[in-house]
DNA sequence: GCTGCATCTGCGAGCGTTCTCATAACAAGC
DNA sequence: GCTTGTTATGAGAACGCTCGCAGATGCAGC
């Protein structure tokens, strides 16, 4: 095994001290032009490559960022990661990834791992929006934190979110405007402790929910669904609200079938995210339903196939790449020492109208 | 900023030397049960967390692996990454990712970054199957390397590949068996220096190509396409071979339209990977063609939508997750010190028959 | 008693860098 | 002349940990 070359090797060959070689190679402090060239030449000859570990140990900075998301395989997170990766790459930062599978225990372990590896900061999509003890005090410990997709109660750090309530309200309002009165919603609706849907709807209707409530995206989208009904003076039928309970297309597929089997089935469907959308479309495909003739459909997240799945799926497109980029930018600023108050970047989802929405038959 | 606790802090509180505290906390060497508990208690009280950097600096192992793939956002790589991540997670290893965008310069930079961060090994999907100077000599330098999806000429390291020739041959043979005689192929076909398609086909037909040829997957799939024709005694019409030249759905879409505009258009299409498949289906969707009545289609890679895009897309499914897992396993063995000769894991793609293939009209 | 061996602990070196400090040469300013 | 400042270099400490080694203790075997 070829021994790795160190600064000492370079210094010896160049006939200078390790301190001087370090100054040249590390680009700090003074160095005469002649010395400089000598050192560079020696380094090149030996194939010297700096050891970031040693450097980090002393500087206390690793130029590495950790990311904790639910599942890299999911297109939503994959795009976010790409956005993050692009921005970090521009700054010469490394990117350490982990996935939580939306499981608190795994998330805690992931954060622990990143901490041991001394990341300068992390971007987390937390699976618990209430407790999250493992995320508190990170900034105080010198590790910058940016939340993405979800907020955490009482955790005041930079975050990047989609304006879920508005996007969902807009989507559902569009269905109502097309003439639909019975609109089914297929949502995850996981993890709310006071998680009774009926109770939640009552709170929305009474206006006792505030934007500060650290809700999961799917609950926020349900909120938008209820608000659209309120705005149109329509009652919400609890039978049309289907809860998948997990992040899995098949759960959504099952719920969709249940919805369509109702005595008074909906004439339009709203799916609250990419995973749910996939499940819903699977169910519609199972039944060979013709969109938008038999049923109207409005989805969430713009997945590849939505553009060419005939007749084109109308959807609320989250700016996934931009979300990742924004999170990375916020993080880089903090790592660079910015001490501004915490920021909340709320990005709008764009309603892309394609062919899956029409007046009811 | 809360100062991080070190072994020295723990040792002081526990009333032992740093060496003893280190032995307990690091789990090496002897430690009396009583001492052990004292140290653990002190560590817990102080909220001690080991600094992996310092540990790695001395042990020379970082328990971190780097991955270089084309684009994390691509479902193919995303799944591979997930497979890798799962296996590494089991071993308590970290995962550093970078993307090359199929660009050699970026790939070299990525490898450089990973090397500086002292990864114990890397998994690379190289964008240059000939030169790849930056990948040679890694093993000699103590960094284990596993190639995934693509091989490199003369680079004898562990690798994980799909049996592309067989999968493509099988896919095309199935179209031929259904009665198709004019089968269009939409492929990337990028980066071969001797890259004339006609010339390549001649080499396939003469049998001068060998499995050892470090071809890009899309060329291997073209090879399978030609072989299926040979086996059936059919001539290959060069006009039916369309070269996208880049990894982009739109390029495939354009090529598909050109194909369908031919005076004698194909009655069936074969797309050579997920990206091409998406582009092809977009084009078919543009034209409102009815599968498989108007045209038969056989794709590559099993993307989410292929299961529910009516009538169901017949495709050669690569075991993406398993590919990532296999690569990670090979790498872990090497990192654990295995010195077996280099291994080539060739996984079969499974032909999933759905509804997009039927006899020609 | 002594020897041998296993167990336990602390000292101090060292991993490959950065960084502080001391030293020195030299030019500029008074 | 002296001070002050800038540029250049090297010695050596430090980052937080692991590891080799020496020394201490306890216990079995003879």
**Binned average pLDDT, 10 residues per bin, chain A of 361 residues:** 84 93 91 91 94 95 97 96 98 96 95 97 93 87 94 92 97 98 95 75 88 83 96 96 94 98 97 97 96 96 96 97 98 94 96 97 85
- Measured CA distances, A127 to A134, A157, A192, B308 (Å): 12, 16, 11, 29
Which residue, A134, A97, A103, is CA-closest to A328?
Answer: A97
Both tokens of B16, joined, read 């032992």
Per DSSP, the residues of A230-254 read HHTTPPP-GGGEEE--SS-HHHHHH
Query: Is strand D less than 7 A from the beta carbon of A56?
Result: no
Cβ distance B78 to A75 less than 8 Å, yes or no, reads yes
Q: Flag if B89 and A98 touch (Cβ within 8 Å).
A: yes
pLDDT at B214: 72
How far is residue A343 from each of residues A75, A77, A83, A159, A167, measured CA to CA in Å?
Answer: 26, 21, 19, 6, 21
**Tell me, what's the pLDDT at B9?**
93
Distance measured from the CA of protein residue A20 to the C1' of nucleotide C22, in angstroms = 15
Residue A19 (CA) to nucleotide D10 (C1'), in angstroms, measures 7
Phi and psi, residue A256, nearest 5°: -65, -45
What pLDDT does residue A215 have? 81
Residues of chain B in contact with residue A309, where contact means CB-CB under 8 angstroms, are 285, 305, 309
Inspect the interface and report whether the beta carbons of A53 and B50 lie closer than 8 Å: no
Cβ–Cβ under 8 Å, residues B91 and B102: no
* Interior angle at CA B79, CA B250 and CA B247, nearest 5: 20
* Residue from the list B52, B71, B116 with its beta carbon closest to the beta carbon of A49: B116
Write down the pLDDT at residue B132.
86
| B98 contacts A95? CB cut-off 8 A | yes
Q: Tell which A residues from 138 to 167 touch B, by Cβ distance under 8 Å.
A: 140-142
Contacts of B98 in chain A (CB under 8 A): 85, 89, 94-95
Q: Where are the alpha helices (DSSP H) in B178-216?
A: 197-206
Strand C contacts (Cβ < 7 A) comprise A 4, 6-8, 18-19, 22, 25-26, 28-29, 48-51, 54-55, 57-59; B 15-20, 23, 29-36, 54, 57-58
Q: Is A118 touching B (CB cutoff 8 A)?
A: yes
- Do residues B68 and A77 lie in contact, with contact meaning Cβ atoms separated by under 8 Å? no
| Chain B partners within 8 Å of A286 (Cβ) | 308
CB contact under 8 A, A282 and B307: yes
Specify which residue's alpha carbon is closest to the C1' of nucleotide C18: A58
Residue A1: per-residue pLDDT: 60
Q: Is B339 an 8 Å CB contact of chain A?
A: no
- Closest C-alpha to B168, from B99, B247, B227, B97: B227
The β-bridge relationship of strands B121-124 and B144-148 is parallel
**Residue with tokens 């309603």, as numbered in its chain:** A351
- Say if B59 is an interface residue toward chain A (CB within 8 Å): no
Q: Which residue of A78, A118, A306, A319 is the best one to mutate when testing the B interface, meaning the one whose CB has the most B CBs within 10 A?
A: A78
Q: How far is B250 from chain A (nearest CA, A)?
A: 12
Q: Identify the closest residue of chain B to A282 by CA–CA distance.
A: B308
- For residue B193, the model assigns a pLDDT of 57
**β-strand B314-317 against B350-352: which pairing, if any?**
antiparallel
CB contact under 8 A, A81 and B89: no
Distance in angstroms (rounded) separating the CA atoms of residues B29 and A341: 48
Which of B52, B72, B114 is opposite residue A81, by nearest beta carbon? B72
Determine contact: B49 vs chain A, CB below 8 A.
yes
Alpha-carbon gap, residue B102 to B100, rounded angstroms: 5
Contact list in A for residue B281 (CB cut-off 8 A) is: 308
Q: B74 Cβ partners below 8 Å, 6+ apart?
A: A78, B247, B274, B275
Q: Do the beta carbons of residue B24 and residue B17 sit within 8 Å? A: no
B72 and A85 in contact by Cβ < 8 A?
Answer: yes
DSSP A210-232: -TTS---HHHHHHHHHHHHHHHT
A23: nearest nucleotide, CA–C1' criterion:
C18
Q: What is the pLDDT of residues A232-242, one digit of tens each?
A: 999 999 999 99
Positions in chain D where some atom is under 7 Å from a protein CB: 7-12, 14-20
> How far is Cα A112 from Cα B209, in angstroms, rounded to an integer?
50
User: Chain B contacts of A141, Cβ < 8 Å?
Assistant: 1-2, 4
CA atoms within 13 A on the CB side of B92: 7
Strand spans (E) along chain B = 64-69, 94-99, 121-124, 144-148, 158-162, 183-187, 241-243, 268-271, 296-300, 314-317, 344-347, 350-352
Burial tier of B248 (Cβ tally within 10 Å: 0-12, 13-18, 19+): middle
Whether residues B53 and A117 touch (CB distance < 8 A) is answered with yes
Q: Which tokens in the block code for residue B306? A: 């292929």
Rounded Cα distance, A47 and A29, in Å? 23
Q: Provide the CA B147 distance to its chain's centre, in angstroms.
A: 8
Phi, psi of B111 (to 5 degrees): -60, -40
Measured in angstroms, what separates residue B25's CA from nucleotide C3's C1'? 34
Task: Pick the residue from chain B with its C-alpha nearest to A275.
Answer: B304
Question: Which residue has its C-alpha nearest to nucleotide C6's C1'?
Answer: B30
Tokens of A87: 């921005």
Q: In Å, what is the CA distance from A215 to each residue of A127, A205, B227?
A: 11, 16, 56
Return per-residue pLDDT of chain B as tens, 361 residues.
567 899 999 999 999 999 999 999 998 989 999 999 999 999 999 999 999 999 999 999 999 999 999 999 999 999 999 999 999 999 999 999 999 999 999 999 999 999 999 999 999 999 988 888 899 989 888 899 999 999 998 899 999 999 999 999 999 999 999 999 999 999 999 876 555 888 899 989 998 887 667 789 999 999 999 999 999 999 999 999 999 999 999 999 999 999 999 999 999 999 999 999 999 999 999 999 999 999 999 999 999 999 999 999 999 999 999 999 999 999 999 999 888 999 999 999 999 999 999 999 8
Distance from residue A328's CA to nucleotide C4's C1', rounded to whole Å: 62
For B135, the 3-state DSSP assignment is helix
Residue A96 touches chain B, beta carbons under 8 Å:
yes
Strand order in the sheet with B268-271: B241-243, B183-187, B268-271, B296-300, B314-317, B350-352
What pLDDT does residue B160 have? Answer: 97
User: Cβ neighbours of residue B349 under 8 Å, at least 6 residues apart?
Assistant: B162, B163, B164, B166, B167, B300, B316, B317, B318, B319
* A contacts of B117 (beta carbons < 8 Å): 52-53, 64, 94
Maximum separation of any 2 CA atoms in chain B, in Å = 88
Strand D atom within 7 Å of B269 CB: no
Residues of chain A positioned with their CB less than 8 A from the CB of B52: 116-118
């Amino acid at each position: 095994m070829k021994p790795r070359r160190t600064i000492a090797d370079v210094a010896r060959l160049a006939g200078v001290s390790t301190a001087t070689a370090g100054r040249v190679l590390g680009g700090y402090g003074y160095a005469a032009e002649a010395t400089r060239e000598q050192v560079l030449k020696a380094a090149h000859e030996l194939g010297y490559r700096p050891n970031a570990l040693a450097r980090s140990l002393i500087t206390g900075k690793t130029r590495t960022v950790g990311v904790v998301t639910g599942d890299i395989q999911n297109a939503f997170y994959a795009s976010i990661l790409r956005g993050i990766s692009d921005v970090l790459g521009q700054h010469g930062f490394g990117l350490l990834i982990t996935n939580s599978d939306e499981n608190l225990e795994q998330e805690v372990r992931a954060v622990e791992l990143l901490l041991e590896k001394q990341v300068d900061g992390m971007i987390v999509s937390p699976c618990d929006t209430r407790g999250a003890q493992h995320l508190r005090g990170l900034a105080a410990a010198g590790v910058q934190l940016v939340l993405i997709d979800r907020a955490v109660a009482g955790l005041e750090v930079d975050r990047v979110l989609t304006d879920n309530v508005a996007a969902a309200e807009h989507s559902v309002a569009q269905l109502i405007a097309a003439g639909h009165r019975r609109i089914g919603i297929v949502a995850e609706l996981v993890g709310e402790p006071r998680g009774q849907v009926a109770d939640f709807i009552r709170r929305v209707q009474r206006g006792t929910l505030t934007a500060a409530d650290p809700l999961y995206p799917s609950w926020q989208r349900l909120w938008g669904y209820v608000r659209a009904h309120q705005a149109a003076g329509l009652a919400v039928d609890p039978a049309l609200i289907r809860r998948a309970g997990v992040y899995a297309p098949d759960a959504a597929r099952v719920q969709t079938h249940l919805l369509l089997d109702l005595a008074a089935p909906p004439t339009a469907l709203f799916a609250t995210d990419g995973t749910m959308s996939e499940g819903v479309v699977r169910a519609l495909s199972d039944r060979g339903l013709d969109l938008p003739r038999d049923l109207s459909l409005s989805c969430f997240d713009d997945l590849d196939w939505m553009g060419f799945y005939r007749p084109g799926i109308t959807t609320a497109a989250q700016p996934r790449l931009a979300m990742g980029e924004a999170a990375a930018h916020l993080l880089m600023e903090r790592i660079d020492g910015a001490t501004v108050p915490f920021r909340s970047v709320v990005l709008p989802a764009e309603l892309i109208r394609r062919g899956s929405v029409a007046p009811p038959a």
